[in-house]
Amino acid sequence: MPKGAKTCPGCKATVGCRAHDCPCGHKFLTAIAGTEEHKAKEEPGFWPVTGNTITTPAGRAPAWKGDLGEWVERCEQQALPNYLAESALRYWLRNVVSQEEFVFLAPQLRGLVGEAA
């Protein structure tokens, strides 16, 4: 079938793709805009991404309450069904604690997240 053509089911002749009738008398059905038959059979929707590792998080980090292990758990719960990389936790931790606390706490994240050294 050449591009820009269609075949008549009545006489098997090739006619232009925009033709409404065939010389044999066959009438091609065309959908009228706005009707149900004109709409796509299945419109694509939003498919959430799951099971991926987040390396740079978006949004606000959970509030810091003084315990690193508990804070990491709250961060991981917020990210479900995805996983947070150590770099994502460091990114957030930098914004919720002072620089001195960050220098002390950041090396401990690797053990809590389970990433290899």
Does any domain span residue 46?
A: no
Domain-embedded: residue 101: yes
Across 5-14, 45-54, 99-108, least confident range: 45-54
Residues 66 and 96 in one domain: yes
The one-letter amino acid code at 87 reads S
Inform me whether the pLDDT recorded for 52 exceeds 70: yes
Q: Tell me which residue range forms the domain holding 105.
A: 53-113
In-domain check, residue 47? no
pLDDT of residue 38 exceeding 80: no
* Single-letter amino acid code for the residue at 48: P
- List, for residues 87-110, the tens digit of each pLDDT value: 888 888 988 899 998 889 888 887
User: Do 7 and 30 share a domain, yes or no?
Assistant: yes
Q: How many domains does the chain have?
A: 2
The answer to whether residues 37 and 57 belong to one domain is: no
pLDDT at residue 117, as a whole number: 44
The tens digit of pLDDT for each residue in 10-29 reads 899 999 988 889 999 999 88
Q: Rounded to whole angstroms, how far apart are CA atoms 115 and 84? A: 10
Task: Tell if the pTM clears 0.75, that is, is over it.
Answer: no
The rounded distance, in Å, linking the Cα atoms of 7 and 67 is: 72
In a domain? residue 57: yes
Domain check: are 19 and 63 in the same one? no
The verdict on 17 and 63 lying in the same domain is: no
Residues with Cβ within 8 Å of 106's Cβ and at least 6 positions away in sequence, in order, are 90, 93
**Is 6 inside a domain boundary?**
yes
